[in-house]
């Protein structure tokens, strides 16, 4: 299965749900959970990147906090909606189509990058590639924020756990049915906080981990570049 294109097809078919539409009050809950953390990390004029932005609810939220915000996603339909919302609001947010394994940005383009609750769509190799890229495109002392669930916590007590995913790749086969459109593959990867820390820390030192609620975590990494500027 082509995981990347299977997931992209699903999100294009799903379109924009009320809980992801930045113009719908029902989407605000996601931002509310992490608003206090983001406000402490975002300062006026900071260049912020929303990784896997969908229709832009976190992109617009970071702009409201003072950031110069950019969102990137691989699904065209949600991005078109985000651009329409931006035009209607007179927002300066920029939205780009792209793959997190090949970000189209130059060195030192951003001061902060946010991966909001979509780490499950990244394979272990893709997160490793993303971390390498972030070391390059984030400024010195730039911040990488990951918000995530821990699959081991989520599935604790399930007797069939070893059969639910590929232990070598972490891939969990899944599908979702969209009314009047059909059933689409929706693969997911088995991530734990410990393993996410292990992979990202190869490039970006961990600064803080905080648990919010029963199974929600905020991981904050810092881009401490070598003094000579070489990567």
Please count the other Cβ atoms lying within 10 Å of the Cβ belonging to residue 16. 23
Residue 181's CATH number: 3.40.50.150
pLDDT tens track, the chain, 231 positions: 577 888 889 899 989 999 999 999 999 999 999 999 999 999 999 999 999 999 999 999 999 999 999 999 999 999 999 999 999 999 999 999 999 989 999 999 999 999 999 999 999 999 999 999 999 999 999 999 999 999 988 877 666 655 667 878 888 877 888 888 888 888 889 999 999 999 999 999 999 999 998 899 999 999 987 665 555
Q: Which residues form the domain of 71?
A: 3-223
Q: What angle do CA 6, 12, 15 make, to 5 degrees?
A: 140
Q: What is the pLDDT of residue 155?
A: 77
* 96, part of any domain: yes
* 142, part of any domain: yes
pTM: 0.93
Quick one: how far is CA 65 from the chain centroid?
A: 18
> What's the Cα-to-Cα distance from 141 to each of 82, 102, 118, 138, 204, rounded to whole Å?
29, 22, 24, 8, 10
* 231, part of any domain: no
Look at the alpha carbons of 35, 38, 43, 47 in this order and tell me if their dihedral is positive or negative. Answer: negative
How many domains are there within the chain?
A: 1
* 229, part of any domain: no
Of 88, 95, 35, 46, which is closest to residue 71 (Cα–Cα)? 95
* 230, part of any domain: no
């Amino acid at each position: 299965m082509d995981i990347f294109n299977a997931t992209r097809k699903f999100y294009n078919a799903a379109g924009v749900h009320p809980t992801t539409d930045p113009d719908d009050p029902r989407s605000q809950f996601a931002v509310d959970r992490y608003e206090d953390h983001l406000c402490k990390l975002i300062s006026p004029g900071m260049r912020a990147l929303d990784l896997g932005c969908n229709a832009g609810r976190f992109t617009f939220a970071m702009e409201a906090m003072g950031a110069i915000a950019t969102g990137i996603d691989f699904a065209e339909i949600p991005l078109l909606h985000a651009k329409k919302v931006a035009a209607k609001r007179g927002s300066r947010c920029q939205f780009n189509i792209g793959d997190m394994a090949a970000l189209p940005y130059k060195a030192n383009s951003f001061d902060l990058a946010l991966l909001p609750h979509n780490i499950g769509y990244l394979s272990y190799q893709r997160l490793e590639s993303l971390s390498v890229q972030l070391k390059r495109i984030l400024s010195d002392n730039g911040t990488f924020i990951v918000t995530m669930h821990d699959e081991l916590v989520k599935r604790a007590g399930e007797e069939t756990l070893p059969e639910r995913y590929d232990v070598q790749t972490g891939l969990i086969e899944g599908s979702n049915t969209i009314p009047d459109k059909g059933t689409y593959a929706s693969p997911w990867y088995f991530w734990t906080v410990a393993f996410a820390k292990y992979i990202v820390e190869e490039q970006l030192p961990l600064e803080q981990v905080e648990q919010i609620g029963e199974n929600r975590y905020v991981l904050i990494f810092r881009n401490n570049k070598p003094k000579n500027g070489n990567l």
